[in-house]
Amino acid sequence: MKKPMVVATILEELRSERSLLSEPVGFVPTMGYLHDGHLSLIRRAVEECVSVVVSIFVNPTQFGPKEDLATYPRDIEGDLRKLESMGVNLVWIPTSEVMYPGGYQTWVDVETLTLPLEGKLRPGHFRGVTTVVVKLFNGVLPGKAYFGQKDAQQVAVIRQMTRDLNIPTEIVVCPIIREPDGLAMSSRNAYLDPDQRKAAAVLFLALTNAKDAYGKGERNGENLRVLVREMIVAESLAEIQYVSCADFGTLQELDTLTGKTLLSIAVFFGKTRLIDNIVLV
């Protein structure tokens, strides 16, 4: 009979329970409030690995001082019910004190890839992400770790970090899961009021409109950025932070598209900041 799911909150407990798991071990790091996007990563991990570990930790070091750390949605009981029903073996729910005890002073910083896009607008964000991901990996020691393509720059930065630091974990990237109207699933969608929620469908429409233009032969980066902008600006509840058309590998803005390209956006609806992207190949 399968052992019931175990929940660990201190590092010693995590290490001893981890040592009992059969290989290969798959890992899905999350900040909780699990939606179908997270569940798709967990499903993939369950399919591909013998044991699966999920972490739930709202990592304070990746939030800026004016960001939504205090209000970030949480539902541990609901999350645990979902994880148990999916056959997850071990859940790691550390506290901030466990992750960042007094006197903490070590950080992981990926240099160039973190400069544009999210890194430019959210200073320190990726330093917090990469540091916590290394700490989570060091506790869980996964063979494979699963991340969503929705956070495209996060994925690029984590891949770079695992290569640079010789971390023996395979990074598996899973497709964006969308609501029926195309809105990418995100825990932050819970902040949207009904009008904002309806308006937010414009994001995917704008990205697909640009993808169609690309399909018809448009290769000018600025023209694609303008196409996306014009459609989003027409939605009065949307306030654009950036529209980017960048090289998929370097994340540098493109004048002319020649290879794999990341079209990505950050847009406010009221105080809620949403990101989305589409890959042009």
* Catalytic center residues: 38
CB 25 → ligand PAF: shortest distance, Å? 17
The answer to whether 208 and 181 are in contact (CB under 8 A) is no
- Which spans of this chain sit near ligand PAF (rule: CB under 6 A)? 29-31, 59, 62, 129, 132-133, 151, 154
CB 157 → ligand PAF: shortest distance, Å? 10
**Closer by beta carbon to ligand PAF, 155 or else 279:** 155
**Closer by beta carbon to ligand PAF, 51 or else 154:** 154
CB 130 → ligand PAF: shortest distance, Å? 9
CB 156 → ligand PAF: shortest distance, Å? 13
**Closer by beta carbon to ligand PAF, 202 or else 251:** 251
Instruction: Show the tokens assigned to 220.
Output: 């000018």
**Closer by beta carbon to ligand PAF, 18 or else 150:** 150
The answer to whether 280 and 257 are in contact (CB under 8 A) is yes
- CA-CA distance, 250 to 237, in Å (whole number)? 32
Which residues does 104 contact at the CB level (< 8 Å), separation at least 6?
A: none
**Would the CA dihedral through 255, 160, 153, 181 be positive or negative?**
positive
**Closer by beta carbon to ligand PAF, 17 or else 118:** 118
CB 98 → ligand PAF: shortest distance, Å? 14
- CA-CA distance, 268 to 103, in Å (whole number)? 36
